[in-house]
Structure 1
């Protein structure tokens, strides 16, 4: 399991708040996380932000 997945699992509510503050156009649907479906979340964020998976994981790691 990657450090990004660990960070998502452990701190998602905090990360979600920071993400919505930085990217106000993200919807609750974009930010919905179900345990075990980290890749699905990353895919939704990729689509919403127009970034690559690597850019999304780097961004999450920086939060």
Structure 2
């Protein structure tokens, strides 16, 4: 399962948990409220795990791109240098898009 699927699955779990928690609180059902909170936390954890994977992928892209750009610069290969910079920026963007909300 890809990270996008994990994030969606996590968001669904989080929302289901919030609903269950709210309903438990409204009906004075402590068990349902706690189960809802647990499901909400499970969903948040899935989302954070998927974001962490994407941040690692982004760092790898950033470093690989920087290396390719440097090699292109050293070999006076403008195309390799530009491709490397593009990959590096893609990695930086992937990391930024997957920052934790905390």
State the TM-score, normalized to the length of structure 1.
0.28
More helix by share: 2
Q: Which has the larger radius of gyration?
A: 2
